[in-house]
Structures are given as structure tokens and as C-alpha cells.
């Protein structure tokens, strides 16, 4: 029979209670924050606060859930001192503390189904297999990753060994796939500015080069990209072509009235052009 944390240091399961199995659906283990009266470094903790939502299974009855918080042995926090089945023992092999989905033996008060006695020694035995499986899976994932992760897993889990079963190999594959960055989202439709720039590039690449003189600027009451839209009138080969300028005042200064610049005439539309500088 295993030991139970508090109200006594060690005690056996109460007589007449029903044997059952508890599986942590959710669990969180935290420190009691013990420290010396002088405010020094925390003392070694022999127990931790375990908050869990258990799934309770009793033979011949429907499973049910219990949410509770209780004291648990130090191993539930995982690793280091407390890694063994007593707080003063150290487990050499990998240890990951209290894990979800690992069934552990317990007893249930027949008068109160929410009153549980957890067999922590039995729980430790049940977790040893789960820890070793987890260590093999983590090492397998590390082997599929970059050089740093491969080296770290070999150093941190020297006794883990390699995955043994199809189930473990499948879990390694699932985790590797889950850690891959998601594919980039498909590009959205081009913005108006991008469309304009693409159109000007097309005209410059395919159009006929000529010379154009800025005749006048015509202000509008429209804005684009927080800049006013100005219509530029160019005299090109004896006729006037209007260009919509929406690239800000700094760029507009390149087209002072009277200045002559290179222009490219759209081969598909003689009233459209791309001005040079």
C-alpha cells in the first residue's frame, strides 16, 4: 500500500473505501513557497501543491470527474531532488513529474465520491513507464531536429534509448509535424499602389520612349496614401497627355512646370504614359 500526503505524514488507505483508478485530465504542480523566517533562500520542499482534474473509474460504475487541490510528493514537480519516490532520492533516468493521461491507483470514499486517497507510491510506479516512453519520444524528436537539439537530447537523456514501438514512432512523427512552422498565407490581392507601380513598369518596359514637357499642375480634392493627388499635364509630340501623380510632394518636385523629361507612351493607350526623371 502506498503512502498519502497529510493529514498525517504516512497513512494507509481508509478501510472500506472503494479501489479505483484516477487519470489526470488536467494538472498543475506548484511550490508551497516555503522560505526561512529571515527571508533567505527557499528550503528544500518535501511536498508540492497539486491541482488536478481527475477522471475517476470504479469497476462497474460510470466514470466521473473530480476537481481538487491537495499535497503531493516532491516527484510530482519533476526532476532533480525529489525525482525519486521520496523527496530525498534522485532519479537518474529522465523524470517529468505528474503527467496527464497516466492512470494511477486510488481509493474513493463511498460516502463522498469526491473524497479521494491517492496511492502515490503506485502512482510513481505507473509514471516510470510513462517517463521512459516520453524520454524516448523526446530523443526521437530531437534526432529529427537541428544539430543543437540532437546534441542536447543526447546529453540530457543519455539513458533514454530509442523509440521501440510503432506507437512511439507515430508520436514522434506527430510532434515533428506539429513543430514545423505553418506555411505562409497565400498572398492577398495587390494593393492599388502595387497595381499602379506594376502598370508603370509595364508601360516603361513595352512603351515607346519620347520627350515630354510639364505644362501645368492641376490640384484635386482627392488624397491617396495621405498625399494629395495632382494631375500633371505633359506636352508630348504636339499634344497633351495627363498623368495622375499620387506619390507625395517630394516626388512632385521633380516635375516643375517647364521641365522636359523622358516619357514612355503606352503602346495600348496613346493617352497613358510613364514619366521618367
Residue 37 neighbours by CB under 8 Å, 6+ apart:
none
- Domains of the chain: which residue ranges? 18-128, 192-275
Residue 157 has pLDDT above 70, yes or no: no
Query: For residue 244, is it left (φ>0), alpha (ψ between -120 and 50) or beta?
Result: beta
Per-residue pLDDT band at 9 (split at 50, 70, 90): very low
- Mean pLDDT to the nearest integer, 156-180: 81
b/e string for 31-40 if b means 16 or more Cβ within 10 A?
A: eeeeeeeeee
Determine the pLDDT at residue 32.
80
147 vs 165, residue with greater confidence: 165
Determine the pLDDT at residue 55.
97
All three cell numbers of 275: 514619366
Determine the pLDDT at residue 231.
92
178 vs 144, residue with greater confidence: 178
Tell me the C-alpha to C-alpha distance, in Å, between residue 240 and each of 216, 234, 253. Answer: 10, 5, 20
Q: Taking all residues of the chain, what is their mean pLDDT, rounded to a whole number?
A: 85
Nearest to 126 by CA among 107, 152, 106: 106
Residue 81 has pLDDT above 60, yes or no: no
Determine the pLDDT at residue 190.
85
- This prediction has a pTM of 0.61
Rounded CA-CA distance 242/275 in Å is 11
Q: For residue range 202-248, what is the model confidence (pLDDT) as tens digits?
A: 999 999 999 999 999 998 998 887 888 999 999 999 999 999 988 88
Fold exhibited by the domain 192-275? OB fold (Dihydrolipoamide Acetyltransferase, E2P) (2.40.50)
Amino acid at each position: 500500500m502506498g503512502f498519502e500526503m497529510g493529514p498525517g505524514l504516512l497513512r494507509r488507505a481508509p478501510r472500506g473505501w472503494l479501489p479505483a483508478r484516477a487519470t489526470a485530465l488536467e494538472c498543475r504542480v506548484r511550490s508551497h513557497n516555503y522560505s526561512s523566517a529571515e527571508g533567505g533562500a527557499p528550503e528544500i520542499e518535501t511536498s508540492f501543491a497539486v491541482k488536478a482534474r481527475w477522471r475517476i473509474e470504479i469497476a462497474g460504475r460510470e466514470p466521473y470527474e473530480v476537481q481538487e487541490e491537495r499535497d503531493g510528493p516532491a516527484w510530482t514537480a519533476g526532476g532533480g531532488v525529489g525525482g525519486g519516490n521520496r523527496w530525498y532520492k534522485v532519479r537518474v533516468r529522465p523524470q517529468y513529474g505528474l503527467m496527464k493521461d497516466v492512470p494511477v491507483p486510488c481509493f474513493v470514499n463511498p460516502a463522498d465520491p469526491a473524497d479521494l486517497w491517492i496511492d502515490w507510491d503506485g502512482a510513481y510506479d505507473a509514471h516510470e513507464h510513462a517517463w521512459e516512453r516520453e524520454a524516448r519520444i523526446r530523443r526521437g524528436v530531437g534526432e529529427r531536429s537541428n544539430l543543437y537539439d540532437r546534441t542536447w537530447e543526447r546529453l540530457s537523456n543519455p539513458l533514454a534509448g530509442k523509440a521501440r514501438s510503432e506507437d512511439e514512432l507515430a508520436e514522434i512523427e506527430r510532434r515533428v509535424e506539429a513543430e514545423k512552422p505553418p506555411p505562409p498565407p497565400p498572398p492577398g490581392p495587390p494593393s492599388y499602389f502595387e497595381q499602379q507601380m506594376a502598370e508603370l513598369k509595364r508601360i516603361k518596359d513595352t512603351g515607346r520612349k519620347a520627350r515630354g514637357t510639364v505644362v501645368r499642375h492641376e490640384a484635386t480634392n482627392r488624397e491617396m496614401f495621405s498625399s494629395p493627388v495632382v494631375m500633371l499635364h505633359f506636352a508630348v509630340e504636339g499634344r497633351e497627355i495627363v498623368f495622375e501623380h499620387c506619390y507625395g510632394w517630394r516626388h512632385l518636385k521633380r516635375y516643375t512646370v517647364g521641365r522636359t523629361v523622358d516619357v514612355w507612351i503606352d503602346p495600348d493607350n496613346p493617352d497613358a504614359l510613364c514619366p521618367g526623371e
